[in-house]
Amino acid sequence: MDSVYYLGLDIHKKTISYCLKQADGRVLREGSVAARREPLGAWAALLPKPWKGALEATLFSGWIYDFLLPHALSLEVAHPAMIRAIAASKKKNDRVDARKIADLLRCDLLPVCYMAPAEFRELRRLLRYRNLMVREAVRMKNKSAGLLMEAGAEYNKERLDSRGYFQELLASVEHVPESVKELLRMSRAARDLFEQAQRRLVQGLLNNPLLKERVARLRTIPGVGEVLALSWALEVAEPQRFPTVGQAVSYCGLTSAQVSSAGKEHRAPISKQRNKHLQTVLVEAAKVAPLWNRRLKEVSERERGRGNANRATLAVARKLVAYLLAVDRSGKPFQECATGMDTANTTENEIKEVVAMATL
């Protein structure tokens, strides 16, 4: 059998530095190639086969991974935060980085991160763009309120969302300069555009054959709406990659960092190594989900009784993760169990019981 070659790739916006090594560590080939499909395809066709490759996760890694995967025996994506700690050195440049990635792959020390299937990454891009539309719509709403306050106009904050009230307001405030009224109209038009765009994106995702049944199952959980269900399905992609609830909770950024040394252990603040998109929607959902879910309301009230509202929100969010993972892994709708088992504190040995609880 031919020996396997190991390829390290340092990805940039316009160029890709590479280093091809043999199994014994000798450099066979190194250099750079333009980060475009045509030159990248010609370069990949000239590489000796079979080869295993590794690249760091960046904004540009997705299409490069999909493009090179058919040419490789295997292709891995390295966790950027962990690879920085391993590859820290006095001398650092693109060539050195490519060499070190190749060495980490060759020695089976590469800190690999999960790469979602291409179809999930495509749909995830749409959902994240929808989140941008929502943020921009809120900005336009706040800007409209700010313009009214700058001009000294009186308005009803609760009714400002109403299109009819907005038109009446513009007609009634005579002392407001015409330039401010024009800015208000522009802000309102931009806000309506953003809201229509985000609704269209959500509706398209809900009707997607890959997500339709899965999202419908997740929404059987009381307190889980369409945005949370879509966010979970697209950000997690494959729930089987989380063997325990604890790992899923950590991925969502709902646990504190652990620091242990010399037999002493303490908890740091919430870790920044998380899926920020999923963390945001879970925290927002945890603030309103107790209104529709009795179990979540009990968790929230228990934690609030201890005097910390933020901990109550995090506790509800963790329990939501346990429910979502249980339903998603089982493939069956949620039904509340009468045993009262606390799924938010489920250990590794209890994951099967969590799934059973959600599908009784």
Q: How confident is the model at residue 48 (pLDDT cuts 50, 70, 90)?
A: very high
Question: In the chain, where do the E strands start and end?
Answer: 5-11, 15-21, 27-34, 51-56, 74-78, 256-261, 264-270
Q: Is the CATH number 3.30.420.140 carried by domain 5-106? A: yes
Query: Is the previous residue joined to 50 through a cis bond, with omega within 30 degrees of 0?
Result: yes
d(CA 53, CA 306): 51
Is 60 exceeded by the pLDDT of residue 342? no
Average pLDDT over residues 320-335: 93
What pLDDT was estimated at residue 173? Answer: 84
Residue 260 has pLDDT above 80, yes or no: no
pLDDT at position 341, please? 45
Quote the DSSP letter at residue 109.
-
Look at residues 94, 57, 60, 62 and name the one whose alpha carbon lies nearest to residue 79. Answer: 57
Place of tokens 């555009």: 193
> Above 60 in pLDDT, residue 120?
yes
E strand map for 212-336: 256-261, 264-270
What is d(CA 269, CA 267) in angstroms, rounded to the nearest whole number? Answer: 7
Tens digit of pLDDT for each residue in 204-255? 999 999 999 999 999 999 999 999 999 999 999 999 999 999 999 999 999 8
For the chain, give the percent of residues with pLDDT over 90. 69
**β-strand 51-56 against 5-11: which pairing, if any?**
parallel
- pLDDT at residue 98 greater than cutoff 70: yes
Helix (H, G, I), strand (E, B) or coil at 116: coil
CA distances from 45 to 38, 49, 72, 190 (A): 11, 9, 10, 48
Question: Cα separations (Å) of 108 from 47, 64, 92, 125, 318?
Answer: 21, 22, 22, 31, 34
Helix H or strand E encompassing 248: helix 245-251
Instruction: Indicate the SS3 state at residue 269.
Output: strand
Q: Is the pLDDT of residue 160 over 80?
A: yes
55: β partners:
9, 77
Domains of the chain by residue range: 5-106, 118-206, 212-358
Greatest distance between any 2 Cα atoms in the chain: 85
Q: Is 53 exposed, middle or buried (0-12, 13-18, 19+ CB in 10 A)?
A: buried
The structure's pTM equals: 0.85
